[in-house]
Chain A
Amino acid sequence: KCSHCRLFVFLSMWALDLEWISNIRVNTQAVLKRAQHIQGQKICRNQWQAAWLLKGVTCIDLTTLAGDDTPSNVHRLCLKAIQPVRYDLLKKMDMHNKGVTTAAVCVYPSRVADAVMLLKNSNLPVASVATGFPAGQTPLETRLQEVRRAVADGATEIDIVINRTLALTGQWKAMFDEIRQFREACGDAHMKTILAVGELGTFTNVYKASMVAMMAGSDFIKTSTGKEAVNATYPVAIVMARAIRNYFLRTGHKVGFKPAGGIRTAQECLVWLALIKEELGNDWLSPHLFRLGASSLLADIERQIYHYVTGQYAAYNELPIA
């Protein structure tokens, strides 16, 4: 599925259009109002809710990004990714043979090898953060090296972070060039570009950074590292989704979207899916174009599904831990 982007890269079709960037305008209050409107919509119920939540599960990049990650908790995470919802629950909904797994497992570069080994027999991709995650404040050379290393270890999806210094000082050309180099270092691997929206200051900067990231060949644009003070919020998602839509209108190319950080409840998951459906349409409601970066979200979704199937609220110890 990455063939078209390789082709584009090969033909050096990715180009920076600075005039386009400079014309971008975002009205903050209008975006906030739109986000309020989407949040205020009624949440679906019953089998609709169950189906939407399962769709949410298939879009999760099940993530562990902690200093104390060891092979054992990465192991547990991988098993959970393969069987994210208890088999008997899926069976009751006749979903047990529909390939419900999370979209990927996301770890630090040093854990990539562990995860790849554990997921050898499944189709699940391993994603790795790279490029001096989360701050990106390391020399370009080591950041590139990190990407190459993760790819060599078997990661097929790389989450890179942009250089906020360049974005905040409006050096879009320099930022574009950096991301282009990451793109090349990724090779065949999918590249998700983390904008760290919490540190970009304004929605206009978020929109511009999204545009530059897409022009430079990102397969996904991602809100945040999960380590900033402000993470994935609905208003910022609307801005990024509009950038994606705008890019699609101009180039016919669909770029994916990945909110990450602070998404914890099944309720939020439903709002995210509704937002994507509303802003980008059904095409984007698949792991191919939409991911949710989360670690504790899955547990809450599983509890909701448990409630849908059994009519009871589960204690956490009734469901397998990640």
Chain B
Amino acid sequence: MAGSTTKTVYDIFQSMEQGPAPASSTATAQAWLDHHSRALGLFIDGKFVCPADRQRRSLVDCKGGNVCTTVCAVEDDISQCASSAVNGFKAWSSQTCYQRAQVLLKLVSILGLHNKCVSELCELCEASCSPSTLVRLLQYYSSWAQLRDTLITNWKPLGVVAVVVSDDCSLYSLFLKVLPALAMGNSVIVVPGQYTAPPVLLLAQLFTGAGLPAGALNVLTGGDVSLGANVAQNPSISYVTYSGNKQVCDAVMLCKATAGMGIPISVSPCIGATCPFIIFDSADIDSAVDGAIEAAFRKKKEAHWVLCVQENVLDSVVSRLRLRMERMKCVGLRSDEDRVLVDAAVHEAQQQGATLIQSCSAPPSGAQYPPTVVCGTAPASPCVVSPAPGPLLPVLTFRSYTEAVTLGNHSPHGQAASIWTEDLTLAQETAKNLSVGSVWVNSHSVWDPCLPVAGHKDSGTCTDGGQEGMYQFLRPSSSLSPPLPRSSPLPMDYTKFGTGASPVIIPDDSVSAPKSYLQFVGGKTCKSVSGCSIPVQPPEGDGVLAYCPDGGRKDIRNAVEAAIKVQPGWMKKSPSARAQSLYSVAKGLEAKRRDVAASVHIQTGLSVVEAEKEVELSITRLSDWAAYCDKIQGGSLPMPQSGCALSVPEALGVIGVVLPDNNPLLSMVTLLGAAVATGNAVVMVPSQKYPLPALSFIQVLQASDLPAGLVNVISGSRDQLTVALANHSVIKAIWYWGSAEGCQYLQYTCTSPLKTLCLFCQKDKEGKDWTQSHPSLLENLWRNAVQWKSVWIPTA
């Protein structure tokens, strides 16, 4: 009865120690693995496929025991998988919304039956995800599947979506991409990480049992994220989305490897971001300290928390931390290498005068470390800037609310923040001013599919979860072709791109010198910094129609500087004030319609009537955007717990726009309106071929009451200016119409910090029809101009 241990009842009675955790059984999962001979195959076309002669990767549990092996897929497997996914997409997307919803719901009941197998397998693979979480995800997305055509009208699925994750990505984050993709009618190829592979394979099998058509969900396992890049190469794939860490070997590699393939890619680096944990003096300090301990010292933590404490409560926070940590045990690290990193980080912090609070002293070696609070660090110290992978919690102090926000924002990451205060106004103001995607008030690490998760700054280029998270898997049904044609990467020297010399201008013997245009920076018209100009050719080709400034890197720099100065103020303006400013631009265009129409006429060769029609459409488009200003809004979200959950659209900041050749005036005001209506500032590069309408529009901008610097126009060599935009870290997004090389260059370059890219490879005489004003086209534009923030204020 007493078991094999020698501890007597009296011993325990005196020490009151906690017994060993009862070992949980994994028999069901083991039986499933045994059924597959512990060698899992790929899941293609609704069944397990075990190709011979493949390399295998073995999964080892924390005690060193072999769990199973997975196949490393090769090129043949990828093409087989892709053709299956294409068929899967046909079958799945032709089903009705109701049928798709039913499949997701059926999986819920199947999960109920195989609850044990799933949870045991997750535990065995250390990819913890409770079945109730999966059920919540499925139920949430089944309702979206059901109502797709009702609530998201005029959008259609993309086709085959590849979901790629890193080894340390959680099962939850993976399904936060897979399920909405399926719910919207796409077929999905999952490239799971090492630990998530077995559970994903099991769930794919269960999905087939729930009636998912063969090929709608395929799973390819491999050695690392490079498999994701190989999958992306397949021409059947329409979209690649990545979740996981943002290390050079994973996210950045994937972005660089897929550059030039003509495939849009988005990344959610949900792992490893530095997140502030802010405790104000008006907080329930005890709860806040408990929260901090829970967040910072868990074994598999996704964020590196930095504790920011208001100076006047530092003592009470620290004394509570000390007391609460007294009895905590060492936390396991992933490897001995991690231990070396942790030791080095702690040592360095101590050298800089930091003091430690530890529950026990660190064992001399081994892959474990006691929970450690590092007091007296500075924002610049390495354990804050480049945190080590262990149970370390650096503590910073701040004096006032403003300083707290500054501290919280002073990081390249923008994943999440936790703020603790009982003061509602303070909480709301802090939440508003922190540039992070998720704000948890008096709580931390709350995940639910209805909360949109969008990393700001370097923490992501897409939104997952919520209605907002659906649009990455959809495109407006009125758009004819995907923006980028599939291609193979061009051989190009990235260092040489955009360095070609501009044509020189020499005096000739023409009778009347053509007109010279100016560019627009910081609300003033000016020449380029270099003072040079380039000739603009008339539509029929030869000759010189006019001269425009040959802008370069320094012009972009000046424009961005002017833009970032006014953008925060513009974003804070009331939507109706923004609307009035945009109406004033429309009015201004109306006043100058003759001038502008003339520039369209001489530049593009359109007849005067057609040119006037384009001006007319542009006035309407600007008024459309003015009207949209107070219609673009977030809302409250239906969380399963009680409290107040908000999603708020926020401006990205400064957007760089390289304008298309088609409809040079209309396309410019359409993009300008989308960016400015949502609170952004723009730096626009007019089409190199047809710059004059944009340059003559400057007089309208000058006369409008838009703040000086909000809209900047810089003309010149497209490639050279593209390089300048790509290499300015303040610019958060680039919308690009241009060459295939330009697209490839941007995809390759804009990885650190991440920029949101909207790329369009334009060829002669085709491309987007800007005269269309279909609502989903405009919606697509403004959705690209905002980033979402979710704020969660739980109540009892």
Q: Which residues of A contact B (CB under 8 A)?
A: 25-34, 37, 42, 44-52, 54-55, 93-95, 98, 242, 245-246, 249, 273-274, 277, 281-282, 285, 308-309, 311
Inter-subunit contact B287/A94 (CB<8 Å): no
Please state if B18 and A55 are interface contacts (CB–CB under 8 Å).
no
Query: What residues of B have a CB within 8 angstroms of the CB of A48 in the complex?
Result: 7, 12, 17-19
Among A33, A52, A94, residue most surrounded by chain B Cβ atoms (within 10 Å): A33
| B285-304 interface with A by 8 A CB criterion | 285-288, 290-291, 294
Within 302-342 of B, Cβ neighbours of A (below 8 Å) are at 316, 319-320, 323, 326-327
Are the C-beta atoms of A95 and B10 separated by less than 8 Å?
yes
A246-B313 Cα distance, complex, nearest whole Å: 13
Contact B18 A29 (CB under 8 A): no
> What 17 new A-B contacts, CB under 8 Å, besides A29-B642, A51-B10?
A25-B285, A26-B284, A29-B795, A37-B294, A42-B22, A44-B19, A46-B19, A47-B8, A47-B19, A48-B18, A48-B19, A50-B9, A51-B11, A51-B13, A95-B9, A245-B320, A281-B327
Contacts of B637 in A (CB 8 A): none
- Which of B15, B17, B18, B286 interacts with A246 by CB under 8 Å? B286
A267 to chain B, nearest CB (A): 15
CA–CA, A51 and B3, complex, Å: 14
Chain B residues 1 to 32 lying within 8 A of chain A, measured CB to CB, are: 1-3, 5, 7-13, 15-19, 21-22
For B795, the chain A residues whose CB sits under 8 A away are 28-29
B664 to chain A, nearest CB (A): 55
10 nearest CB pairs, A to B: A48-B19, A51-B12, A30-B287, A44-B19, A28-B796, A27-B284, A51-B13, A242-B286, A93-B9, A29-B796
A47 adjacent to B320 (CB under 8 Å): no
Chain A contacts of B326 at CB under 8 A?
281
Question: Which chain A residue shows the least CB distance to B315?
Answer: A249
Minimum CB–CB distance from B680 to chain A (whole Å) comes to 36
Residues of A within 8 A of B19 (CB): 44-49
The CA-CA distance from A285 to B17 in the complex, in Å, is: 11
Q: Give the distance to chain A from B238, nearest Cβ to Cβ, in Å.
A: 41
Q: How far is the CA of A28 from the CA of B794 in the complex (A)?
A: 10
List B residues 633-666 near A (Cβ within 8 Å).
642-643
Question: Contact: B13 with A95, CB < 8 Å?
Answer: yes
Measured between beta carbons, the chain B residues less than 8 angstroms from A98 are: 10, 13
- Tell me which of A25, A29, A95 contacts B443 (CB under 8 A): A29
How many chain B residues touch A (Cβ–Cβ < 8 Å)?
43
Q: Please name all residues of chain B whose beta carbon is closer than 8 Å to the beta carbon of A245 when the two chains form the complex.
A: 286, 320, 323
Known: A93-B9, A246-B286. A44 touches B1 (CB 8 A): no
Partner of B3, one of A29, A46, A277: A46
B283 is an interface residue with CB less than 8 A from chain A? yes
**A25-B283, A98-B13, A242-B286 as given contacts; A30 in contact with B291, CB under 8 Å:** yes
List CB contacts (< 8 Å) of B187-235 with chain A.
none
A52 CA to B795 CA in the complex, in Å? 35
Say yes or no for B442: interface residue by CB 8 A criterion: yes
Q: Which of B416-433 contact A (CB under 8 A)?
A: 420, 422
* Bound Cα distance from A98 to B13, whole angstroms: 10
- Bound together, the chains give a CA A246 to CA B287 distance in angstroms of 12
A145 to nearest B CB, angstroms?
A: 39
Inter-chain contact A27/B9, CB cutoff 8 Å? no
B282 within 8 A of A: yes
Once A46-B1, A47-B3 are accepted as A-B contacts, the answer to whether A249 and B323 lie under 8 Å apart by CB is: yes
Q: List 25 A-B contacts (CB under 8 A).
A: A25-B283, A25-B285, A27-B284, A30-B442, A42-B21, A42-B22, A44-B18, A47-B3, A47-B8, A47-B9, A47-B19, A48-B17, A50-B9, A51-B9, A52-B12, A54-B9, A55-B13, A55-B16, A93-B9, A93-B10, A249-B316, A249-B320, A277-B18, A281-B327, A282-B327
Bound together, the chains give a CA A308 to CA B422 distance in angstroms of: 47
In the complex, the answer to whether B1 meets A25 with C-beta atoms within 8 Å is no
**Are B22 and A29 in contact (CB-based, < 8 A)?**
no
Distance between B447 CB and nearest chain A CB, rounded to angstroms: 14
The distance in angstroms between the C-alpha atoms of A93 and B7, with both chains bound, is 12
Bound Cα distance from A274 to B18, whole angstroms: 9
The residue in chain B whose Cβ has the minimal distance to the Cβ of A44 is: B19
A315 vs chain B, min Cβ distance (A): 20
Residues of B near A34 (CB, < 8 A) are 287, 290
Contact B443 A285 (CB under 8 A): no
Cα(A110)–Cα(B16), bound, Å? 37
Contacting residues, chain A, for B323 (C-beta < 8 A): 245, 249
Q: Write out the residue numbers on chain A whose beta carbons fall within 8 Å of the beta carbon of B1.
A: 46, 308-309, 311
Centre residue among A50, A51, A309 by max chain B CB count within 10 A: A51
Which residues of chain A are within 8 angstroms of B442 by Cβ–Cβ distance?
A: 27, 29-30
Provide the residues of chain A in CB contact with B21, threshold 8 Å: 42
A33-B443, A46-B1 are known contacts. Are A27 and B12 too (CB-CB below 8 A)? no
Interfacial chain A residues near B643, Cβ < 8 Å: 29
Smallest CB gap from A48: residue in B: B19
Give the CA-CA distance A311 to B1 in the complex, in Å: 8
Contact check, B422 vs A27: say whether CB atoms are below 8 A apart: yes
Point out which of A29, A45, A98, A274 has the most chain B C-beta atoms below 10 A from its C-beta: A29
Question: Within 8 Å CB of A28, what residues of B?
Answer: 795-796
In the assembly, what is the distance between CA of A50 and CA of B9, in Å?
Answer: 7
A94 and B14 alpha carbons, distance in the complex (Å): 13
Chain B contacts of A30 at CB under 8 A?
284, 287-288, 290-291, 442-443
Contact in complex: A47, B2 (CB < 8 Å): yes
B294 to A, closest residue via Cβ: A37
* Residue among B16, B422, B794 making CB contact with A277, cutoff 8 Å: B16
Nearest A residue (CB) for B313: A23
CA distance A27 to B290 in the complex (A): 12
The CA of A33 and the CA of B284, in the complex, are separated in Å by 14
A27 to B289 alpha-carbon distance, docked (Å): 12
List the B side residues contacting A47 at CB < 8 Å: 2-3, 5, 7-9, 12, 19
Residues of chain A within 8 A of B288, CB atoms compared = 30
> B19's closest neighbor in chain A, by CB?
A48
> Which chain A residues border B420 with CB–CB below 8 Å?
27
**A25, A95, A273, A274: most-surrounded residue (chain B CB, <10 A):** A25
- Distance between Cα atoms of A3 and B283 in the complex (Å): 37
**In angstroms, how far is the closest chain B Cβ from the Cβ of A41?**
9
With beta carbons under 8 angstroms apart, the residue of A25, A95, A285 that contacts B284 is A25
Write the nearest CB–CB distance from B18 to chain A, whole angstroms: 6
Cα-based distance from A27 to B282 in the complex (angstroms): 11
Among B11, B16, B287, contact of A52 (Cβ-Cβ < 8 Å): B16
Q: Are A32 and B287 in contact (CB under 8 A)?
A: no
Residues of B within 8 A of A311 (CB): 1
Chain B residues lying within 8 Å of A249, measured Cβ to Cβ, are: 316, 319-320, 323
A44 to chain B, nearest CB (A): 4
Give the distance in Å from the alpha carbon of A281 to the alpha carbon of B12 in the complex.
15
Nearest CB of A to B108, in Å: 23
Instruction: Note all chain A residues with C-beta closer than 8 A to B319.
Output: 249
* Beta-carbon contacts under 8 Å, B366-406 to A: none
Which B residues are in CB contact (< 8 Å) with A29? 442-443, 642-643, 794-796
A25 contacts across to B, CB distance below 8 A: 282-285, 422
Q: Which residues of A contact B287 (CB under 8 A)?
A: 26-27, 30-31, 34
Q: Which of B286, B290, B420, B795 has the most CB of A within 10 A?
A: B286
Instruction: Report the nearest B residue to A30, measured CB to CB.
Output: B287
Across the interface, which residues of B come within 8 angstroms of A49, CB to CB?
19
Which residue of the partner chain B has the closest CB to A245?
A: B323
Q: How far is the CB of A53 from chain B (nearest CB, A)?
A: 10
> A44 to chain B: which residues have CB within 8 Å?
18-19
B252-293 residues with Cβ-Cβ distance < 8 A to A are: 282-288, 290-291
Known: A44-B18, A52-B16, A282-B16. A94 touches B286 (CB 8 A): no
**Which B residues lie within 8 Å of A273 (CB)?**
16
Residues of B within 8 A of A26 (CB): 284, 286-287
Task: Give the residue name and chain of the A residue nearest to B13 (CB).
Answer: A51
Q: Say whether A54 contacts B283, CB under 8 Å.
A: no
A54 to B795, CA, bound (A): 38
| Docked pose: A37 CA to B291 CA in angstroms | 11
